[in-house]
């Protein structure tokens, strides 16, 4: 974004230098008015200005996060536009969830390939609208351009959290317990299903795993409880892989993290894949789970358990924070006898 809280999604027709195939509109303004303006909240000023106007609620601080996705890298090129929109929304909201923030709005930048038609854009906007309603936030603005490809999008999500309540990565201390919400590994195996693997698995298992990859569920409400009740000392969302993201907490806080392999929660479908192919390491390092991994003081367990029951969300204690053994912090996967399980890599590596 060229300026903060900007609404360049309505900045001028020159942004759309090449028309989309099948779009019978006068230009970019008409595309915006038809597909995106209905999604704008009052902060977006109807997408008729070149900036948005946002008033945070009293007693709150703003939390910003941004993620970019590209076809063939973060989602399958043939994915339905509604699902692409929802996945884009949810992977960003997951970052807000890990900070304990409530979603308020977002800025969208989208580079549309020339060969997309108006029906694709309409379906994409429909997916955005459905998740806006589900998660209670609005489009503030953004930017649109045309490109020879591939399809590329960046979403900046804006959330609110009570003053001094944001959960950072830096608060873990030696002796803290390590927890994770939900189950781990479903998305990794779900991507494999989407690519045609696991044909021997039941249709029910394949459907479950694939849905977990295509449409993650950000843990917004639980994250807000962790923040409001000051239960978590540090947190991150599980995007790069459980070990990698737990390691991010350790590095930021200056301590080592130990994850107990047998404690990592797996869904029944994922457990069957792990059992049949010895795939536990893949489940733990694969990423795209969009759960919350967090640390908490040992005396917080009963309150965490009560919050998990209230939310109907599985929360599992999977390890601990310990003093560093070497010059810099590290994360270790521990076996049954306290031995370290060596892995080739800890999670997804950005290049």
Is residue 21's pLDDT more than 80?
Answer: no
What gap in Å lies between CA 55 and CA 53, rounded to an integer? 7
Please tell me the predicted confidence (pLDDT) of residue 49. Answer: 66
Q: What percent of the chain has pLDDT over 70?
A: 89
pLDDT (mean) for 115-123: 88
Higher pLDDT, 303 or 36: 303
Radius of gyration, alpha carbons of the chain: 21
Which range has highest mean pLDDT (5-9, 312-316, 323-327, 347-351)?
312-316
Higher pLDDT, 26 or 138: 138
Is residue 268's pLDDT more than 80?
Answer: yes
Please tell me the predicted confidence (pLDDT) of residue 346. Answer: 62
How many Cβ atoms sit within 10 Å of the Cβ of residue 200?
Answer: 8
Query: Which range, of 33-47, 182-196, 212-226, averages the lowest pLDDT?
Result: 33-47
Please tell me the predicted confidence (pLDDT) of residue 114. Answer: 83
Is residue 326's pLDDT more than 50?
Answer: yes
pTM for the complete prediction? 0.87
Please tell me the predicted confidence (pLDDT) of residue 6. Answer: 32
In the chain, where are the structural domains located? 8-162, 177-341
Higher pLDDT, 128 or 142: 128
Please tell me the predicted confidence (pLDDT) of residue 105. Answer: 94
pLDDT band at 27 (very low <50, low <70, confident <90, very high): low
H or E segment to which residue 128 belongs: helix 118-135
Please tell me the predicted confidence (pLDDT) of residue 347. Answer: 55
pLDDT band at 13 (very low <50, low <70, confident <90, very high): very low
Mean pLDDT of the chain: 87
pLDDT (mean) for 7-32: 47
Query: Which range, of 94-103, 213-222, 328-337, averages the lowest pLDDT?
Result: 328-337
Please tell me the predicted confidence (pLDDT) of residue 350. Answer: 39
Tokens 């029906």 locate to: 119
Q: Which two tokens stand for residue 99?
A: 């900070």
What gap in Å lies between CA 99 and CA 280, rounded to an integer? 28
Q: In the CATH scheme, what is the homologous superfamily, with its name and number, of domain 177-341?
A: PurM-like C-terminal domain (3.90.650.10)
Q: What is the CATH number of domain 8-162?
A: 3.30.1330.10
pLDDT band at 39 (very low <50, low <70, confident <90, very high): confident
Please tell me the predicted confidence (pLDDT) of residue 145. Answer: 83
Biggest alpha carbon distance in the chain?
A: 69
Sheet of strand 152-162: strand arrangement: 60-70, 152-162, 102-113, 138-147
Is residue 349's pLDDT more than 60?
Answer: no
pLDDT (mean) for 228-253: 96
Q: Report the DSSP beta bridge partners of residue 174.
A: none
Is residue 316's pLDDT more than 90?
Answer: yes
Residue 173: φ, ψ to 5°: -135, 155
Q: Are 67 and 155 in contact (CB under 8 A)?
A: yes
pLDDT (mean) for 162-191: 97
Is residue 185's pLDDT more than 90?
Answer: yes
Cα-Cα-Cα-Cα dihedral of 69, 247, 347, 311, to 10°? -70
């Amino acid at each position: 974004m060229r300026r903060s809280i900007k609404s360049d999604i309505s900045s001028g027709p020159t942004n759309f230098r090449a028309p989309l195939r099948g779009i019978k509109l006068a230009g970019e303004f008409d595309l915006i008015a038809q597909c995106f303006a209905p999604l704008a909240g009052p902060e977006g000023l109807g997408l008729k200005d070149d900036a948005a106007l946002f008033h945070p609620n009293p007693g709150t601080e703003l939390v910003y996060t941004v993620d970019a996705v590209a076809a063939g890298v973060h989602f399958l090129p043939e994915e339905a536009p509604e699902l692409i929109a929802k996945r884009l929304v949810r992977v960003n909201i997951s970052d807000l969830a890990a900070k304990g923030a409530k979603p308020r709005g977002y800025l969208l930048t989208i580079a549309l390939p020339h060969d997309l038609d108006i029906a694709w854009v309409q379906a994409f906007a429909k997916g955005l609208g459905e998740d806006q309603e589900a998660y209670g936030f609005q489009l503030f603005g953004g930017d649109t351009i045309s490109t020879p490809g591939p399809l590329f999008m960046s979403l900046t999500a804006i959330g609110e959290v009570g003053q001094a309540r944001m959960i950072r990565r830096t608060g873990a201390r030696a002796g803290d317990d390590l927890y994770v919400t939900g189950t781990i590994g479903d998305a990794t195996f779900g991507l494999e299903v989407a690519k045609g693997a696991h044909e021997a698995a039941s249709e029910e298992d394949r459907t479950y795993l694939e849905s977990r990859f295509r449409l993650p569920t950000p843990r917004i409400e639980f994250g807000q409880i962790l923040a409001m009740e000051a239960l978590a000392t540090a947190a991150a969302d599980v995007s790069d892989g459980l070990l990698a993201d737990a390691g991010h907490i350790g590095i930021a806080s200056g301590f080592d993290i130990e994850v107990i392999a047998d404690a990592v929660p797996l869904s029944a479908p994922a457990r069957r894949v792990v059992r049949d192919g010895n795939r536990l390491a893949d489940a733990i390092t694969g990423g795209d789970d969009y759960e919350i991994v967090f640390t908490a003081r040992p005396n917080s367990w009963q309150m965490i358990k009560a919050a998990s029951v209230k939310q109907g969300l599985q929360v599992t204690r999977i390890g601990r924070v310990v003093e560093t053994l070497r010059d810099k912090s590290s994360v270790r996967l521990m076996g049954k006898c306290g031995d370290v399980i060596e892995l080739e890599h800890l999670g997804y590596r950005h290049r």
